[in-house]
Structure 1
Amino acid sequence: MTLFLAFLGVSLVVIMTPGPDTAITIRNTLLGGRSAGLFTALGIASGLSIWALATSAGIVALLTASEPLFLAIKYAGAAYLIYLGAQALREAFRPSAIPHPQTAKVPQARLASGAAYRQGLVSDLSNPKIAVFFPSLLPQFVPAGEATFLSLLLLGITFALTTFAWLVFYAAVVAKAGDWLRQPSVRRVVEGITGTLLIGLGLRIATEHR
């Protein structure tokens, strides 16, 4: 139990640190409301669950051992983050991002739940940092003598569920302040910040070593 509580503490620190998951959840909540934020969080949690299963089965170890395959996922993930960031910056600076005052609080386009889920899932599955993070973190909290597969899977699923709960809370807060955040000037600032953050994270992933 002590190891599990320690794992929860470390997980919360990692999960609550702003990153691409947080940025995508905020942007999608602004575009599609609370439901889009929830489905984005669900997509991210699904991706983490797949990573957890792959880590428990030893597949991630094979992935990281293959330099070409790891680099392919790394650059694909970086490109996807940069693509999402570029979309956000386009929304921040194009003229249509400034609606008429009478419609300032009305979203110009709502993000469908399916698209929000897909963005969350693809963003997480193409994040090579998880491929390095899970195998280095999870084994440290497996009690000696326990079945490694089930123990690793339980820890990974716990991490995914905790991430989901945190992002749903984040989405609820953003949705609550939705009208204010959708004001033209505020919306442009938020889009600009999230776009810059996503592009910066994408570039960092593409250029950093393991």
Structure 2
Amino acid sequence: MVTVPDFSFEAEALAAGATFVAGVDEVGRGPIAGPVTAAAVRLDPGNIPEGLRDSKAMSQAARERLSEWLLTHAAVSVAHASVEEIDEINILRASHLAMERAVAGLGQGPDFALIDGNLLPRGLTIPARALVKGDARCQSIAAASIVAKVARDRIMVDLAQQFPGYGWERNAGYPTKAHLQALLDFGVTPVHRRSFKPIHNILYQGIYVTP
């Protein structure tokens, strides 16, 4: 049974005096290639679309449809942390950096953020609350998860055109069996995360790196 998120966490923050509550989520901690992407979304309480769910529980078509709706009808900001940043500061910190950038990118600065996960990004400059499994419980976080997922998937489709053979248009950079085999066949690309074990091991073995 799919859990349906609601607006109760946003309502609680608004009742406590907040005026601009943003839900924040990231996508892309697990892949071995590509950036990590975050989105921050402020929903209009009087105009919330039907069907908001954790993006992982939705079809691609449903995500695409809701993402377009949100970009038109909600305050939305999307941001990224690069492969180089992931390798330099680690994936957790990079995902938090992307979240911080997404919050900062909202045109009118929020005064409260609802963050998916159990840790708050240390660079946030506004009050915030961390919600474990927030994308399944909180509508604003669910909306952010949808926007971030669609945005990152599109990036990976574009990168698949530049680096064919790895299947990123299908696996979004996750370490599927086909992706791992492609690494052995074609080598490591500049957009693979060198700090991640499968890539590090291949580089240590001296397998060809795609220019």
Common fold: TM-score over 0.5:
no
Sort the TM-score into its range (normalised by shorter chain).
Answer: under 0.3
TM-score (norm 2): 0.26
Q: Which has the higher contact order (CA 8 A, sep 6+)?
A: 1
TM-score (norm 1): 0.26
Higher helix share: 1
